[in-house]
Amino acid sequence: MSKFIWMHGALALAMSFPAWAATDADLAEIREQIRQLKESYEARIQALEQKLKDAETAKSAPAAAAPASPVAAALPATSSASGIAAFNPAISAVLQGRYANLSQDPSKFAIGGFAPGGDIGPGRRGFSLSESELAISANVDHLFAGNLIVALTPENTVSVEEAYGIYTAAPYGLVPKFGRFFSGLGYMNEQHQHAWDFIDAPLAYQAFLGGQYANDGLQVKWVAPTDQFLELGAEVGNGDNFPGSMRNKNGAGSGVIYAHTGGDIGASHSWRAGVSYLQTRAEDREYSQLDLTGNNAQVAFNGTSHVAIADFVWKYAPNGNPLYTNFKLQGEYFWRRESGDFTYDVDGALHLTNTSAYTSRQSGWYLQGVYQFMPYWRVGARYDRLDPGHVDYGTNAAYLDAPAFHPERSTLMVDYTPSEFSRIRLQYGQSKTQAGMTDNQLFLQYILTLGAHGAHKF
C-alpha cells in the first residue's frame, strides 16, 4: 500500500514537472525529493532482501526449528481425549496356556450314564495353549452398548463366544440383551472360563449343559425397584446347543427363565442365590454308547430336555476389603428331565435298529470354596457328584443297561495372583467319571489379561 503511494507520488511529480517554470531553488528542491525517494526505496529493498534471506535460512534448517515448541512436547501422552482414537472401544486379550498330566487317556473321556455333548473333558495331555480370548466392548450410542468376545482356539480356529448388544435406555428396570450370549441361568454360566476359580467346569455343567450354555437370541432382565436386589430374566434362543440341537424351524428353539436375589449381611458378607429353568429340544442328538454285549452302538435321542438349577454364592471379605483375605463359597444343584424317542443302533451297524419311548431324570451338584489366606495367594477345594437317577429305555432296555454309577471328582487348587491381570494356578483333581477308572489330573495354568478388560460380575 505504501509502495503504491510512493509510486503515485513520483508519477505525479514527473507529470507536473514540465508545467513549471523551473528556478534553481525549485530544481534543488526536486533533486532533494528524488534523493529522499531513492534512499527510501533502497532502505525498503534492503529490508525485503533481509527478509528473504531469513526465510531461506529457516527453510534450510527445519530440524533446528523443531524444539522451539516446548508446549507440545510437555503435554502428557494421555491428554488426547479428542480425535478418532478417543472413540476406540475397550479392547483386551486374555492369554492362557497350561501343562496337563493325566493318568487316563483324555480321548476316552466320558461321564458314565450321561449323554455327552458340547465341550467336555479335561483336554489334551502335556503342554498346550488354551483358548485365547479377544474382547471388544463400548457404548454404541445413547441407546446401546455392544460387546464382542472371540475365542481363538489352540487348533487355530476362531469362534464367536459372545456378540451381543444391550439396550441401555429401557425404562421400568428392563435390560434387553440380544445376539449371542452366555445364558444368565445358574451362577457360573455367565462367567468366562478365565474368571473361573478352577481350570475346568464342574462336572454338572459338563453333563447337563455341555460345559457352558450359550444361545443366539434375546434376553430380557427385569430388576425389581426394591433395595433388595431381585432380578427376573427370560430368554428365547435358537436352542442349537447341548442339551438341545440344531433344528430347521422358525420360532424359538429354547427358553430360559430365572430369578436371582442377593444382598449384604453386615459390611463383610455378601451373597446371591437363584433358581433357573431351561427348556429345549434335541433332534437326532447322536452319540455312541456301550451296549449290554459290549458293542459301541450309535444311539440317538429325539425329544425335550428340561434343566432346573438352584445356585448360591456367599463371599466373605473383612469389612468389604478382599485385598488381604477373603473367602468364597459357591454351589449349584442341577436336575434334568428328558423325554422323547430313543433309537438304538441308529446307523444300523449292528443290524438291531430299534426306536422306543425314553425318559430320564438325573441330577448333580458341586460345592466349592476358595480362600485367600494372604495377599495374592488363594487355595481352593471342590467336590463334584452326579446322580444317574432314573433312565427308562423302554424296549431298548433289551440292549442298554440303565446306569447305576455315580460319577464324582475331588479337586484342590492353589493360585497366585500378583495383580488383577495375571494368575498362575496349580490344580490337582481325582476324577472318577467312569466305573473302575480314576483319572489323576495335574494342571499348571497361566492366565494373562492385556488391555482394557471389563470388570467381572459378582
Partner 1 sequence: MKSHSQWLLVTLVVAWVGPAAAALNVFATVPEWGALTGELGGDKVKVYTATNPLQDPHHVEAKPSLIGRARGADLVVATGAELEIGWLPLVTQQAGNPKVQAGKPGYFEAASFVPILDKPSRLDRSEGDVHAAGDPHIQTDPRNIARVAGPLSARLAELDPENAAYYQTRYKAFAERWNAAIARWEKEGAPLRGVPILVQHKGFTYLIAWLGMKEVAALEPKPGVEPTTAHLSEVLATVQRQPVKMVLRAAYQSDRASQWIAERAKINAVVLPFTVGGDDAAKDLFGLFDDTIERLRKGLQ
Report residue 333 as a C-alpha cell. 444343584
Give me the 348-387 binding string for partner 1, x by CB under 8 A, dash otherwise: ---------------------------xx-----------
Q: At its nearest, how many Å lie between partner 1 and the CB of residue 146?
A: 12
Q: Which of 126, 117, 74 is nearest to 288 (CA)?
A: 117
Residue 248's Cβ-count burial label (10 Å; 0-12, 13-18, 19+) is: exposed
Give me the 62-81 binding string for partner 1, x by CB under 8 A, dash otherwise: --------------xxxx--
Element (H, E) at 11: helix 2-16
Interacting residues with partner 1 between 316 and 335 (CB under 8 A): 319-324
Which of 144, 196, 222, 377 is the binder for partner 1 (CB under 8 A)? Answer: 222
Q: At its nearest, how many Å lie between partner 1 and the CB of residue 271?
A: 8
Residue among 246 and 265 whose Cβ is closer to partner 1: 265
Classified as helix, coil or strand, 275 is strand
Residue among 219 and 238 whose Cβ is closer to partner 1: 219
Which of 11, 13, 27, 174 is the binder for partner 1 (CB under 8 A)? Answer: 174
Q: At its nearest, how many Å lie between partner 1 and the CB of residue 407?
A: 32
Residue among 157 and 419 whose Cβ is closer to partner 1: 419
Interacting residues with partner 1 between 126 and 165 (CB under 8 A): 139, 142, 145
Residue among 78 and 82 whose Cβ is closer to partner 1: 78
Q: At its nearest, how many Å lie between partner 1 and the CB of residue 182?
A: 15
**Residue 169 in the binding site for partner 1 (CB under 8 A):** yes
Residue among 100 and 135 whose Cβ is closer to partner 1: 135
Report residue 408 as a C-alpha cell. 464324582
**Residue 454 in the binding site for partner 1 (CB under 8 A):** yes
Which of 128, 132, 168, 191 is the binder for partner 1 (CB under 8 A)? Answer: 168
Which of 421, 428, 430, 446 is the binder for partner 1 (CB under 8 A)? Answer: 421
In terms of DSSP bridges, do strands 132-139 and 90-102 run parallel, antiparallel, or are they unpaired?
antiparallel
**Residue 83 in the binding site for partner 1 (CB under 8 A):** no
**Residue 173 in the binding site for partner 1 (CB under 8 A):** yes
DSSP state for residue 55 in the 8-state scheme: H
Q: At its nearest, how many Å lie between partner 1 and the CB of residue 370?
A: 14
Amino acid identity of residue 90, one-letter, is A
Q: At its nearest, how many Å lie between partner 1 and the CB of residue 276?
A: 16
Q: Which of 241, 280, 237 is nearest to 119 (CA)?
A: 241
Which of 223, 352, 412, 437 is the binder for partner 1 (CB under 8 A)? Answer: 223
Residue among 377 and 383 whose Cβ is closer to partner 1: 377
Question: For every residue of 19-41, which 3-state class applies, written as one string?
Answer: HCCCCHHHHHHHHHHHHHHHHHH
Which phi and psi angles does 351 have, rounded to 5°? 55, 35
CA distance 213 to 338: 17
237, 249 Cβ separation under 8 angstroms: no
**Angle of helix 2-16 relative to helix 24-60, nearest 10 degrees?**
150
CA distance 72 to 326: 47
204, 366 Cβ separation under 8 angstroms: yes
Residue among 256 and 297 whose Cβ is closer to partner 1: 256
271, 329 Cβ separation under 8 angstroms: no
**Residue 455 in the binding site for partner 1 (CB under 8 A):** yes
Residue among 20 and 324 whose Cβ is closer to partner 1: 324
Q: At its nearest, how many Å lie between partner 1 and the CB of residue 102?
A: 34
Q: At its nearest, how many Å lie between partner 1 and the CB of residue 143?
A: 9
Interacting residues with partner 1 between 239 and 258 (CB under 8 A): none
DSSP letter for each residue of 211-252: TS-EEEEEEEEEE-SSSSEEEEEEEEE---STTS-----SS-
CB atoms under 10 Å from CB of 277, counted, come to: 15
Report residue 368 as a C-alpha cell. 466349592
Report residue 400 as a C-alpha cell. 442298554
**Residue 263 in the binding site for partner 1 (CB under 8 A):** yes
Which of 59, 156, 172, 293 is the binder for partner 1 (CB under 8 A)? Answer: 172
In terms of DSSP bridges, do strands 269-290 and 254-265 run parallel, antiparallel, or are they unpaired?
antiparallel
Q: Which stretch binds partner 1 (CB under 8 A): 27-35, 125-133, 171-179, 360-368?
A: 171-179
DSSP letter for each residue of 353-404: -EEEEEEEEEEEEEEEEEEEEETTEEEEEEEEEEEEEEEE-GGGGGT-PPP-
**Residue 192 in the binding site for partner 1 (CB under 8 A):** no
With contacts defined by CB under 8 A, how many residues of the chain interact with partner 1? Answer: 53
Which of 30, 140, 230, 308 is the binder for partner 1 (CB under 8 A)? Answer: 230
**Residue 9 in the binding site for partner 1 (CB under 8 A):** no
Q: Which residues bind partner 1 (CB under 8 A)?
A: 76-79, 139, 142, 145, 166, 168-175, 221-231, 260-264, 267, 270-272, 315, 319-324, 375-376, 419-421, 454-458
